[in-house]
Amino acid sequence: MDVAEGADSRSRCQQLVGHLGRLAVAEDIMESTDDDGYECYTCDRMFSGRVFQVCREWDRVHFECDPPEVEISVATALECYCSQACMDERCAVVMANEGVPIRRPGIGPIEPCAKCGGPVDMAEYHKTYLATCTDMVNGIGHTVDVDYLAVLCAKCAPHRTTAGRAGSEANLTADSPAVDATNKVDA
């Protein structure tokens, strides 16, 4: 039963991914060690072509689109591997190092946080962990497969960009509040 559910959400995710060019992940791939070579984190083998990665990214889903689109803010590849087997071997370790249990989400609109089980509003930027398979062709990544591993709620992973934006907005309008504060102190 679990397997069937997993397969279902996975194929739905692939639909999403197919719609959105997931190039952001491939472009932000870890540094290539050579012109066209990657080194597998599991077996140390040099390889090129098809790259398996465990990634961490900020994304949000636009449910108003049909099919829904995933917008990626910042994507970071944590490790890369030469094969699915090598990725499978390391995946649990990588996630343990991140302190995030693997708890594969669906596509929302609300999914459980992998850490605390609280609600994750998929329409708002949230931290996502995923395992990807990408074919690199002439330096351009073509996503073959995406396996969403976990999503985190705003409490467990506050979105820094949102905080930064709030900060700069505060700065933009800081003049009058600052004056008010001064006036209050003076009074």
- Cα 147 from Cα 60, distance rounded (Å): 16
CB of residue 3 vs Zn ion: minimum separation in angstroms?
26
CB of residue 34 vs Zn ion: minimum separation in angstroms?
16
State whether residue 167 is helix, strand or coil.
helix
- CB nearer Zn ion, residue 1 or residue 99: 99
- What is the 8-class DSSP label of residue 28? T
Closest Cα to residue 42, out of 98, 95, 76, 90? 90
- CB nearer Zn ion, residue 17 or residue 56: 56
> Helical H runs in 20-61?
23-27
- CB nearer Zn ion, residue 21 or residue 108: 108
Q: Which two tokens stand for residue 120?
A: 């994750």
Residue with tokens 């960009």: 161
- CB nearer Zn ion, residue 24 or residue 81: 81
Binding site for Zn ion (CB under 5 A): 40, 42-43, 45, 82, 86, 113, 115-116, 118, 153, 156
Q: Which two tokens stand for residue 182?
A: 């001064």
- CB nearer Zn ion, residue 40 or residue 51: 40
Q: Which two tokens stand for residue 117?
A: 């089980």
CB of residue 174 vs Zn ion: minimum separation in angstroms?
32
CB of residue 81 vs Zn ion: minimum separation in angstroms?
5
CB of residue 184 vs Zn ion: minimum separation in angstroms?
38
β-bridge mates for residue 46, sequence order: 39
